[in-house]
Amino acid sequence: MRGIVTFYLTYLLCLMLGIACVALVAYWNYSYRGGFAWDGSIKQFNWHPVFMVTGMVVLYGNAAVVYRIPLTWGHNKLPWKLLHAGVLLLSFVLSVVGLCAVFDYHNTNHTANLYSLHSWVGICTTALFTAQWVMGFTAFLLPCTPTTVRALVKPAHVWMGGIILVLGIVSCISGINEKLFFALKGNTNGTLPYSALPPEAITANALGVIIVAFGLVVLKILSNQIWQRPEPGYEEGVYQPLGYDGS
């Protein structure tokens, strides 16, 4: 009982940090960067951090911990697999839209693509995410996949999931830092320099810290053996309605 209470307190912290990430990245780009549009202007670029933080970090992290929620343990696993895959798919779609926003903005304004370390890590993360989702769908949702293949793939799937989350966080915080260096140049564009720590810098730095905190909480949930879903009796098998007790 104590372990379950501790889990839900940790999970509540995870949810609160996730909401804070989304709220703060939206506030930063709306209040300090001019808002949002899809017209090739800098306002279009502003969608990029919002969608990447929301998709690649917050939704991805929450999808990763679905199986750890004790309320799901007493039910057939298939509905939770579908939820896990569905949230990850939404995460992927938002990430792709975020990439489209920045590529289209760069192309419209004749800015080079994929030259920074941030962009390289981000593209690699997205590519791994794509491969991970396809592998997971093929191995764990297609009924024709042998159980031996599922057992073989599962350790790599779990390990790669954690790696992608870490890379997503690295991509986001490096992107935040890069944006602040470009945007806060002091006398050249009428803003205070980043080194002076103006309110925008404090807001964006705080966002980066909260993103890291969110990732640490998710990794804590995933690494705690006590909070792992008990597999015997709840494995892939034939779908049973929620509440089915085997009688």
- Report pLDDT digits (tens) over 110-134: 999 999 999 999 999 999 999 999 9
| Higher-scoring residue by pLDDT: 77, 34 | 34
d(CA 59, CA 48): 15
Are 222 and 61 in contact, with CB atoms under 8 Å apart? no
Q: 30-52 burial string, b = 16+ CB within 10 Å, else e?
A: eebbeebeeeeeebbbbbbbbbb
Q: What pLDDT sits at residue 232?
A: 58
Q: What pLDDT sits at residue 244?
A: 31
What is the percentage of the chain residues whose pLDDT exceeds 70? 93
3-state class of 205 per DSSP? Answer: helix
Average pLDDT over residues 183-206: 92
Assign 1 a pLDDT band (cuts: 50, 70, 90).
low
| CATH number, span 2-227 | 1.20.120.1770
Assign 203 a pLDDT band (cuts: 50, 70, 90).
very high
pLDDT at 73 over 70: yes
pLDDT at 247 over 60: no
Q: What pLDDT sits at residue 188?
A: 73
Are 19 and 53 in contact, with CB atoms under 8 Å apart? no
Out of 1-15, 27-41, 211-225, which region has the weakest mean confidence (pLDDT)?
1-15
Average pLDDT over residues 35-61: 98
Q: What pLDDT sits at residue 2?
A: 72
Rounded-to-10 torsion of CA 79, 80, 83, 87? -170
Out of 27-36, 91-100, 110-119, 220-229, which region has the weakest mean confidence (pLDDT)?
220-229
Average pLDDT over residues 155-179: 98
pLDDT at 105 over 70: yes
Output the average pLDDT for the chain.
92
